[in-house]
Chain A
Amino acid sequence: MALAPELAARSALSRICVRCSVSLRRQARVRNGFLQSSQQQQQQQQQRRTFAGKSSRIEPADISRASPPQVAPKPQSHVAKRFSSDFSKTAFSSSGPSFGTQPGQRVLEADNLFHSFTNSPIPEIRRRAAFIRQHASCPHPHHQPGGDMAPAHVDFECPDCGIPVYCSEEHWADDYEAHLQICDTLRQINEDDHDLRSGRLFPEFEYAGPQMEEALINMTNWDTFLYTRNFNAINDDRSMRQATRLLTYPVTIGSILHELSPYSLKAGGRLTAEGIKSFSALRYTLHPPKTGGGMDVKGLRVEAPPVRLFILGARAESSLPRNAWIQLAHLFPRARIHLIFIGPESMMNRDDEFPLPPRTPSNPWGAIVEDRVWHSMKISTIVDYYHTIHKTGYFWPYDPYFDCFVMFHPGLGHPASSHEWEETLPMLLETKAPIIVTGYTQEDMERDINWVHKTAAGEFDVLLEPGENRFRSLRWDLNDMDPQDISAGNWGVWAFRGKRYETTRKNSEP
Chain B
Amino acid sequence: MALPRSTYYDARNRQTPALIRARRPYLVKNAVTGLAITGFAVAIYAYTIHAIGQDDFEDVKVPDVPAKPSAFTETVKK
Contact = CB atoms under 8 A, between A and B. Distances in A.
Interface of A: 220-221, 223-224, 226-227, 232-236
Q: What's the dominant secondary structure at chain B's contact region? A: helix
Contacts, number: 26
A279 to B, nearest CB: 23
Among A223, A226, A227, the one with the most B-chain Cβ atoms within 10 Å of its Cβ is A223
Contacts of A223: 18, 21-22, 24
A227 B6 CA distance: 11
A180 B74 CA distance: 103
12 contacts: A223-B18, A223-B22, A224-B22, A224-B25, A226-B18, A227-B18, A232-B7, A233-B6, A233-B8, A233-B18, A235-B16, A236-B17
B19 interface: yes
Contact of B16 (A221, A224, A233): A233
Given A224-B22, A227-B8, A233-B6, 18 more contacts: A220-B25, A221-B25, A223-B18, A223-B21, A223-B22, A224-B25, A226-B18, A226-B22, A227-B18, A227-B19, A227-B22, A233-B7, A233-B8, A233-B18, A233-B19, A235-B16, A235-B18, A236-B17
Nearest to B25: A220
A234 B22 CA distance: 11
A43 to B, nearest CB: 35
A97 B2 CA distance: 38
A202 to B, nearest CB: 15
Nearest to A203: B7
Interface residues of B, number: 11
List the 8 closest A-B pairs by CB distance, nearest first: A233-B18, A227-B22, A223-B22, A233-B7, A223-B21, A235-B17, A232-B7, A233-B8
A227 B18 CA distance: 8
Contacts of A224: 22, 25
A233 B24 CA distance: 15
A223 B19 CA distance: 8
A103 B64 CA distance: 96
Contacts of B16: 233, 235
Contacts of B18: 223, 226-227, 233-235
A217 to B, nearest CB: 12
Interface string B1-28: 0000011100000001111011011000
Contacts of B8: 227, 233
B26 to A, nearest CB: 9
Contacts of B6: 233
Contacts of A226: 18, 22
Q: Tell which of B6, B18, B19, B25 has the most Cβ of chain A within 10 Å.
A: B18
A226 B22 CA distance: 8
Contacts of B22: 223-224, 226-227
